[in-house]
């Protein structure tokens, strides 16, 4: 089974507020994108495509292994993944990963790949929700609560049968922006399976997340 990984790394990281694109921000001295790519390679996924901000391509090339292919991303994550999919070639399965999840353990990648190999058309790593989760109105007043036992937090990499993913993106109306790829295939009627995620695969979104990741690397 030939797997290709597409790493979405073309975001600016506005919530992190660093002086460079988020994927180039250092974690223990190495850019987030380097950590993310190495996790994929360590899990045995050798074919890796990274979508980058067009203006920063040289900076990404300088920090990534030469066998990693770089492509210009787009203005949204959805557009960046679309750009990456054009390079999926004849792979059987596609993993879509976020550079913003630098410390994703190879075991998470392996679980996603194993579920695809077992025949799942779409697979996401998930974690339970530990906080009580409520719904609020425009004024911030609680109007309801969600049954926590049925909720999951979704991580990356997310894995897909290549043909199913490409068909789902082709069917997604232009301009529709979804925050993950499983939502795209679900909109096309594909069953999305789950495997256990890992707290260490947490996403770097705000500065505090970087503090936690630094602590994780040091321990
Ligand atoms: N991403 C991308 N292309 C974009 C926007 C996001 O490839 N136009 C990628 C980011 O690089 C990141 C992943 O999608 O690895 C998840 O997005 P997010 O955490 O929201 O990153 P940013 O969009 O960069 O951050 P922010 O929303 O705070 O600006
Ligand atoms: Mg974003």
> By three-state DSSP, how is residue 1 classified?
coil
pLDDT at 210 over 90: yes
CA of 1 to the centre of ligand 2 (A): 31
pLDDT higher than 90, residue 113: yes
In the reported structure, the alpha carbon of residue 185 is separated from the centroid of ligand 2 by a whole-number distance in angstroms of 20
The atom of ligand 1 lying closest to the CA of 81 is: 7
Residue nearest (by alpha carbon) to ligand 1 atom 10:
11
pLDDT surpasses 90 at 81: yes
Instruction: List, for residues 174-194, the tens digit of each pLDDT value.
Output: 888 888 999 999 999 999 999
d(CA 189, ligand 1 centre) in Å: 26
pLDDT in tens, 143-169: 999 999 999 999 999 999 999 999 999
Whether pTM exceeds 0.75: yes
CB distance 15 to ligand 1 below 6 Å: yes
Determine the residue of 7, 15, 22 to mutate for testing ligand 1's pocket, defined as the one with the most ligand atoms within 8 A of the Cβ atom.
Answer: 22
CA-75 nearest atom, ligand 1: 8
- The structural domains of the chain, with segments of one domain joined by +, span 3-217
Distance 13 CA to ligand 2 centre (A): 7
Q: Given this model, what pLDDT does residue 175 score?
A: 86
Is residue 11 in contact with ligand 1, taking CB distance under 6 Å?
Answer: yes
Torsion (CA) 53, 99, 180, 147 in degrees, nearest 10: -140
Rounded to whole angstroms, the Cα distance separating 100 from 23 reads 6
CB distance 104 to ligand 1 below 6 Å: no
Q: How many residues does the chain have?
A: 219
Contact 64, 34 (CB under 8 A): yes
Pairing of strands 122-128, 158-161: antiparallel
31 lines ligand 1 (CB under 6 A): no
Report which protein residue has its CA nearest ligand 1's atom 13.
98
Contact residues for 122 (Cβ-Cβ < 8 A; gap 6+): 158, 159, 160, 161, 164, 165, 182, 185, 186, 190, 191, 192, 193
State the distance from the centre of ligand 2 to the C-alpha of 11, rounded, in angstroms.
Answer: 6
pLDDT at 219: 78
Helix boundaries (H) for the chain: 32-42, 57-63, 77-85, 106-117, 162-171, 181-187, 207-218
Question: Residue 174: left (phi > 0), alpha (psi -120 to 50), or beta?
Answer: beta
The domain 3-217 having CATH identifier 3.30.70.890: the answer here is no
Q: How far apart are CA 13 and CA 7, in angstroms?
A: 15
């Amino acid at each position: 089974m030939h797997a290709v990984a597409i790493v979405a790394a073309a975001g600016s990281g506005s919530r992190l507020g660093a002086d460079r694109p988020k994927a180039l921000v250092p974690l223990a001295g190495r850019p987030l994108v380097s950590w993310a790519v190495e996790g994929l390679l360590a899990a045995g996924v050798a074919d890796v495509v990274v979508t980058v901000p067009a203006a920063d391509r040289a900076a990404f090339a300088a920090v990534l292994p030469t066998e990693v292919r770089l492509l210009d991303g787009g203005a949204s994550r959805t557009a960046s993944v679309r750009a990456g999919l054009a390079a999926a070639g004849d792979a059987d399965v596609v993993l879509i990963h976020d550079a913003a999840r630098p410390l994703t353990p190879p075991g998470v990648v392996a679980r996603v790949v194993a579920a695809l190999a077992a025949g799942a058309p779409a697979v996401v790593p998930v974690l339970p929700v530990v906080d009580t989760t409520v719904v609020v109105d425009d004024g911030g007043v609680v109007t309801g609560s969600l049954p926590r036992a049925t909720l999951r937090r979704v991580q990356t990499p997310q894995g897909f049968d290549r043909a199913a993913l490409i068909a789902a993106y082709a069917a997604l109306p232009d301009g529709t922006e979804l925050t993950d790829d499983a939502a795209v295939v679900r909109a096309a009627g594909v069953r999305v399976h789950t495997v256990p995620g890992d707290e260490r695969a947490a996403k770097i979104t705000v500065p505090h997340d970087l503090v936690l990741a630094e602590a994780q690397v040091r321990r």
